[in-house]
Structure 1
Amino acid sequence: MAGTFSQIYIQVIFAVDGRRSLIRPSWEAELFRYMKGIISKMGERPLAINGETDHVHIFLGIRPSCCLLDLVREIKKATNDHINTRHLLEPRFQWQEGFGAFSYSHSSLNDVIEYILNQKEHHKTLSFKEEYQKLLRQFSVDHKEEHLFDWVE
């Protein structure tokens, strides 16, 4: 729409079904490139993607017309299909239901990108559960513990 200008930055986080450690180092870079392609194809702007063997962080710039639910649904569906049709692992790969989404200002861009790109370093001292709960507190997101991801203790 003419005359519409925006800067909308969202960090999306979602986990492997059952929080199993299934994302393999041997193909994670390919997976992240594939995700970037999906996001770009849908008209949005991928800024950083990284994660661990059991979850992924995606930082992106979106247009006002973007339906985040549809975008995340397409990323999950397409990557499930990609991993499974290429037989990258057994058993069958699937993402867990749900996701977290957190918005950021333009002034936070570099910090969030750096944080996402350094995921493996962060998770040497902080579990995914601790990280996710910290974000929920930091952003004052009302939630019920039983509706969060399945946690592997």
Structure 2
Amino acid sequence: MSYVRIWVHIVFSTKNRHPYLTKNIRYQIQNHIAKNCKEKSILLKDINGYTEHLHCLISLGKEQTIAQVVQLIKGESAHWINNNNLISDTFMWQDDYFAVSVSESNLETVSNYIKNQENHHRKKTFDEEVKEFIDKYKFELQKD
């Protein structure tokens, strides 16, 4: 039997970073994503976010890729949001996302960071958070 534990911190935003994810809607979506991940055998340790984005801490299974997992989470949740008319517009996630590996030794730090998103964003905007991620992880913009 294979044993695989590859932790990934994933961040994705609403289309055009529109603040659709009010507290009540965000909690409904997070609960739905957690349930869907369980059904799809995606190990989701933590999920949280703010008005225009979500953070997920997942562990990839031995046959899962980041792209597959992100597509399953974003695609299915957007479909569910629209089918349940949670917002008055057609809901879409932004195509892009951040994904960075997390070592076991930093797991608790990242988990706490995700759990404290609401407090975090009282002091820092999502744009500032994005810039911080780009600087910290040395991301370079790439054209697909």
Same fold (TM over 0.5): yes
The residue matched to 2:122 in structure 1 has which SS? coil
Matched residue, 1:98: 96
Alignment-mate amino acid for residue 63 of structure 2: S
Alignment-mate amino acid for residue 23 of structure 1: L
Cα deviation per residue 1:69-112 (whole Å; 9 max; x = unaligned)? Answer: 11111211111111111111111111111111011100111111
Matched residue, 1:150: none
Matches within 5 A, 1:111-130: 111-130=109-128
Residue correspondences, number: 143
CA distance in 2, matches of 1:78, 1:114: 26
Alignment-mate amino acid for residue 27 of structure 2: A
Matches within 5 A, 1:3-152: 4-143=2-141
Equivalent pairs: percent with the same residue? Answer: 23
Alignment-mate amino acid for residue 137 of structure 2: F
More strand by share: 2
What do you get for the CA RMSD once the two structures are aligned?
A: 1.4
Shift of residue 57, structure 1, vs aligned partner: 0.5
Structure 2 unaligned regions, length at least 5: none
Q: Scaled by the length of structure 2, what TM-score is found?
A: 0.92
CA distance in 1, matches of 2:101, 2:48: 17
